[in-house]
Amino acid sequence: MIGKLIIASILTGIISGFFILLYEFLVVFLTHLLFLGDPIKTIPTLPVWYIYLVPTVAIFIVNYLASTDKNIKEYGVNEIAESIAKNEMTLKVKTLFLKVIASALSLGSGFLVGTEGPSAGIGAMIAYHIHKLFKLPTMLIKMMISVGASSGIAAIFVSPITGMAFAVENIAYQFIKQYIGYLILASALAFAVTINYLDPIGFQNSQGRVFNHDYFIANLIFVPFITLFVFLYLFLKQRLLVIIDHKIFNNFKRFRNHIFALIGGGVVGTILLIEPHAGFSGKIIVMHLMNEDVHIPVLFIFGVILLRIIGTTVAIYANAVGGIFLPLMSIGALIGYGFAELNTIYLFPVEPFYFAAIGAAVFMGVMMKLPLTAVILAMETTFDYNVVIGTAISVILVEYFSGLFFDIRKKYVTKRYKKRKVLNTKTKEEIS
């Protein structure tokens, strides 16, 4: 049995790595095809009607594909594992290919979703079929799906340890003593496949183990600052969903997907026209803010934050296939960069790229309830104690303060929000 598990883990890691490569290359190809080149450069030169047409047509195609196979939208690895274990879901090879196409179309047309959700789903599907091929016991299905999900995350982020942490925090914690070795094996192999072809989120300004106490003080000020933006994000998300879903969906249930597709295409088209950098997954934004030593106007930063908050929410409800890991990181990076600029103007100078790195990890960690993954992501991408310590302190305190007013649930499957009930002073908020 152990021999089978080792071979299954090796195959899962290698095959997942190659599938993630194809997926990422397809996203890049479609992006350049749809926008006739690098969208950041071509969008200002393209006709306005074309900018609106691309995301609108793309999301209608994605909705059509989803109507043929509902599992295309399911990228919550824990929910996938639970459903398969209960014989409520089967994952076909056709679903895998349709998911890749639907996600690549969503991302390539400018929708503000990430690559990590589908990547985890792709890895999970591959692991599921390898589990069937080797005729492993049913009791190991969740473990194998954990192996697949960690492989997908490790490959797309080119970060093996982050992939392992993601799987452990999401689904594999009950198997940690028995099966962590297989997660390590598959994640490392998937990383090895993609390292020479994909760009990791790196941090070129690392000071390593040098710890600057000025940044520690600034980080304590950063905690209430980013907490305010967490509140803003949750409030705007809740208000948008109530207005759009409860008003329109209840009156036009039959045409819900069509209405949201039109809204999604219109919103994404508008965002791309206002500022092309505010669209797409957000990976370029994160890497730019973390590594470029340039001054960015504060008003511009906060304008892009608002656009990305709106765009991420609408993308999910328009049924765009993708994750929210990277979009949340991009919002956090913008918040951190903006904070550092303000801190430098009114208090004392700090380098904005440090707080861009901290904000990216913290905002994602709080919203997705993945504090361990946030800290490990900060460590693996920066190798800088100033960022790692700042992230560790902030993610726990911000999550605590946010929990005083919002109930942030760990939920990754894209589903229609259920009507919320107000309990005492807390507002229940689900993160899809």
Asked if residue 300 belongs to a domain, the reply is yes
Distance CA 298, CA 42 (A): 25
Residues 225 and 144 in one domain: no
Distance CA 350, CA 2 (A): 51
Residues 250 and 185 in one domain: no
Q: Which residue has the higher pLDDT, 366 or 86?
A: 366
Residues 146 and 248 in one domain: no
Distance CA 262, CA 140 (A): 42
Residues 114 and 229 in one domain: no
Distance CA 141, CA 391 (A): 33
Residues 96 and 153 in one domain: yes
Q: Which long-range contacts (CB under 8 A, 24 or more apart) does 92-96 make?
A: 93/129, 94/69, 95/69, 95/71, 95/125, 96/19, 96/122, 96/125, 96/126
| Tens digit of each residue's pLDDT (9 = 90 or more) over 225-265 | 999 999 988 887 776 666 766 666 666 667 777 877 888 88
Last residue of a domain, one of 194, 227, 262: 194
Q: How confident is the model at residue 423 (pLDDT cuts 50, 70, 90)?
A: very low
What amino acid occupies position 349?
P
In percent, the amount of the chain with pLDDT more than 90 equals: 23
Residues 133 and 279 in one domain: no
Residues 161 and 301 in one domain: no
Say what the pLDDT of residue 421 is: 37
Residues 76 and 117 in one domain: yes
- What is residue 409's three-state secondary structure? strand
Domain with residue 351: its CATH number is 1.10.3080.10
Q: Which residues contact 38 (CB under 8 A, 6 or more apart)?
A: 32
Q: How confident is the model at residue 211 (pLDDT cuts 50, 70, 90)?
A: confident
Helices (H) and strands (E) in the chain, counts: 18, 2
pLDDT higher than 50, residue 216: yes
Residues 281 and 365 in one domain: yes
The total of other beta-carbon atoms located within 10 Å of residue 266's CB is: 15
Residues 73 and 184 in one domain: yes
| Tens digit of each residue's pLDDT (9 = 90 or more) over 296-328 | 788 888 888 888 888 888 887 788 888 788 889
Asked if residue 205 belongs to a domain, the reply is no
Give phi and psi for 409, each to the nearest 5.
Answer: -95, 145
Asked if residue 201 belongs to a domain, the reply is no
Which residue segment(s) compose the domain that 112 sits in? 2-194
Q: Which residues contact 360 (CB under 8 A, 6 or more apart)?
A: 286, 289, 290, 329, 330, 332, 333, 336
Asked if residue 77 belongs to a domain, the reply is yes
Q: What is the pTM of this model?
A: 0.82
Asked if residue 199 belongs to a domain, the reply is no
Residues 56 and 156 in one domain: yes
Say what the pLDDT of residue 77 is: 56
Residues 283 and 346 in one domain: yes
Asked if residue 293 belongs to a domain, the reply is yes
Distances from the Cα of 375 to the Cαs of 49, 70, 96, 130, 219, in angstroms?
Answer: 43, 34, 31, 31, 15
For the residues 12-30, what does the mean pLDDT come to?
A: 92
Strand partners, 408: 429
Nearest to 137 by CA among 166, 178, 165: 178
| Burial class, 405, CB count within 10 angstroms (exposed 0-12 / middle 13-18 / buried 19+) | middle
Q: How many domains does the chain have?
A: 2
